[in-house]
Amino acid sequence: MPTTTPTRDDLVESAGKLVPLLRSRALWIDDNRRLPPDVIEAIEASGLLRMQVPTQYGGYESDARAFVDVLAEIAKGNSSVAFCMSIYASLTWMVGLWPDEALDEVFAEPHVRVTGTTAASGTATRVDGGYLINGSWGYNSGILHAHWKITAAMPEGPAGQTLPVFTLVPVSELELVDDWHTTGLQGSGSVTTVAKDVFVPDRRVITGADFYQNISNSRANAAKGGYRVPMLVTATAMQTGQLVGAAKYALAGFLERLPGRPLTYTNYPSQQEAPITHLQVGEAALLIEDAEARAHRFTDLLAEKIRRDEPWSQDDRIFSRVQIGWIAKQVKQAVDILASAGGGSSILRDVPITRIQRDVQATSLHALITPATNIELYGRSLTGLEPNTVYL
């Protein structure tokens, strides 16, 4: 167990040291649709997996601002790695809602990685001492390298039950279906999982009400303000960094390739001299700067509300959710500009820009990130209408 908690700068520095390795493994990651063993080992050695482990288990309980900056660094190396780490962070934090007996099991693994989904596409049958879980769940990002999975299932029984139960299941007890064949975030390995009569003891089950209202069943965590923040607020705040970092990587890569590159079939001996290039770079840079500033304001607001132990109103939750949607929109616009300015040689596999573009597109299509959905939700709120979702 660590004797001191690393500072935000320490954690960002540790993330930055991983970037050369992540870049060197990019083609392997895409070709094999998973993260390679040396990347997993480097992530474990970095200590970054401890950022959302509770302090009583030797973790850091890092704030969301630290995650923005750390994941931005990781995304400068590879977006699939950053996406997996954002999931591990979010879901590790969610584990803090379970009873201490369950936490003792989960955090017995020093480099624990937790993944999961909140879609209740399975059933939970009550049996003596717990539940039998059956079902199939798609889009389990990072599960190929995870130890535990948070799984939502609808309890069988009286009609009219609308909330699922949430269970902690060892990944080793689930069947993994190799169905992740995509053009973006290929290395996230977001395959489907199947449960067939998997027994989950009561200590590893919490109600949907507790999960969505962030009521911690842990005696140690219940008093901590960070565990009273709405689940989706914390999760989306953490995940903004990977988008910002991907865009920064795209801009840096574009500028690195720029000197000496001709603007073919024009009189410009170098693309660097063309006014259109200046406009493209300027607009992309401003979009990225705005996205990063918004991400920082979002996490600073979250930290201040935790400090004051303020409740989260419906308007607060809606405002929080739209932040990642707008950041995704800005980042995608910036990356698309840079990709379109990259020239014909940018489609070569060893040039990062088209990979970054595909990964940002894939991230932006996540149901909780999609800009249009989140902006519509925000607009409904501003015009006095009730939200059209319970996922707040």
267-288 pLDDT, tens per residue?
888 899 999 999 999 999 999 9
pLDDT at 158: 66
Q: In the structure, what pLDDT confidence band is assigned to residue 261 with cuts at 50, 70 and 90?
A: confident
Q: In the structure, what pLDDT confidence band is assigned to residue 28 with cuts at 50, 70 and 90?
A: very high
Identify which of 345, 364, 346 has the alpha carbon closest to the alpha carbon of residue 355: 346
pLDDT at 345: 84
- Say whether pLDDT at 382 is over 70: yes
Q: In the structure, what pLDDT confidence band is assigned to residue 265 with cuts at 50, 70 and 90?
A: confident
The rounded percent of the chain whose pLDDT value lies above 70 is: 98
pLDDT at 343: 85
Identify which of 9, 33, 223 has the alpha carbon closest to the alpha carbon of residue 143: 33
- Say whether pLDDT at 3 is over 60: no
Per mean pLDDT, which range of 156-170, 342-356, 376-390 is the poorest? Answer: 156-170
- Say whether pLDDT at 262 is over 90: no
pLDDT at 293: 98
- Say whether pLDDT at 383 is over 80: yes
What is the rounded CA–CA span in Å between residue 215 and residue 96? 10
pLDDT at 1: 52
pLDDT at 159: 58
**Measuring CA to CA, how many Å separate 98 from each of 74, 136, 220, 344?**
29, 23, 11, 52
Please count the residues of the chain: 392
Of residues 358 and 344, more confidence is placed in: 358
Taking the domains of the chain in order of start, what are their residue ranges?
Answer: 8-106, 114-212, 229-382
- Say whether pLDDT at 291 is over 90: yes
pLDDT per residue over 292-324, tens digit each? 999 999 999 999 999 999 999 999 999 999 999
- pTM for the model stands at 0.95
Check if CATH label 2.40.110.10 holds for domain 114-212.
yes
Over residues 333-337, the mean pLDDT reads: 98
Residue partners of 388: CB distance under 8 A and separation at least 6 = 376, 377, 380
- As a whole number, the mean pLDDT across the chain is 94
Q: Which fold has domain 8-106?
A: Butyryl-Coa Dehydrogenase, subunit A; domain 1 (1.10.540)
- Say whether pLDDT at 15 is over 90: yes
Over residues 161-165, the mean pLDDT reads: 83
User: Which residues, listed in sequence order, are joined to residue 134 by a DSSP beta bridge?
Assistant: 123
Both tokens assigned to 387: 């939200």
Kindly report each contact of residues 53-61 with a partner whose C-beta sits within 8 Å and lies 24 or more positions away, as own/partner.
Answer: 53/92, 53/107, 53/112, 54/96, 54/103, 54/107, 54/218, 54/220, 54/221, 55/5, 56/220, 57/1, 57/103, 57/107, 58/1, 58/2, 58/110, 59/107, 60/2, 60/5, 60/6, 60/11, 61/224, 61/226
Of residues 4 and 326, more confidence is placed in: 326
Over residues 245-260, the mean pLDDT reads: 95
Q: What homologous superfamily is domain 229-382 in, according to CATH?
A: Butyryl-CoA Dehydrogenase, subunit A, domain 3 (1.20.140.10)
Both tokens assigned to 348: 């070569």
pLDDT at 332: 98
What is the rounded CA–CA span in Å between residue 19 and residue 93? 25
The rounded percent of the chain whose pLDDT value lies above 90 is: 86
pLDDT at 75: 98
